Copies of this chain bind each other. A is one copy, B any other.
Amino acid sequence: MIDVAIMGHGVVGSGVAEILHNHSKRIAEKAKENINVKYILDLRDFEGLEYSDKFTKDFSVILNDPDVKIVVEVMGGCTFAYDYVKACLLAGKSVCTSNKELVAAKGSELLDIALEKNVNFLFEASVGGGIPVLRPMAQCLTANEITEVTGILNGTTNFILTKMISENMSFDDALKLAQELGYAEKDPTADVEGHDACRKICILASLGFGKHVYPNQVKTEGITNISLVDVEYADAFDSVIKLIGRTRKLDNGKITANVYPALVSRKNMLAGVNDVFNAIMVRGDEVGDVMFYGRGAGKFPTASAVVGDVIDCAKHLSARKYLHWIDGEKDYVADSIDDITRLYVLVKTDNLAEAIKEIETTFSGASYIVSKDNSEVAILTETDIERNLREQINSLSCSEVVKTLHAID
Contact = CB atoms under 8 A, between A and B. Distances in A.
Contact of A293 (B142, B291, B307, B310): B291
Interface in A281-297: 284, 286-295
Contacts of A273: 269
Interface stretch (A124-132, A176-184, A377-385): A124-132
Given A130-B286, A290-B130, A307 B143 contact: yes
A373 to B, nearest CB: 33
A142 B35 CA distance: 14
Interface residues of A, number: 45
Interface stretch (A133-141, A225-233, A387-395): A133-141
Nearest to A286: B304
A305 interface: yes
A286 B129 CA distance: 11
B304 A284 contact: yes
B140 A136 contact: yes
A241 B43 CA distance: 54
A136 B132 contact: yes
Contacts of A322: 315
Interface string A297-331: 00011011101101110010000001000000000
Given A140-B132, A308-B143, A322-B315, A295 B287 contact: yes
Contacts of A30: 142-143
Contact of A286 (B19, B124, B131, B136): B19
A75 interface: no
A27 interface: yes
A145 interface: yes
Nearest to A305: B140
A304 B141 contact: yes
A44 interface: no
Given A290-B131, A300-B286, A308 B140 contact: yes
A276 to B, nearest CB: 10
A144 B291 CA distance: 21
A19 B289 CA distance: 18
A287 B124 CA distance: 13
A357 interface: no
Interface of A: 19, 23, 26-27, 30, 124, 130-132, 135-137, 139-145, 269, 272-273, 284, 286-295, 300-301, 303-305, 307-308, 310-312, 315, 322
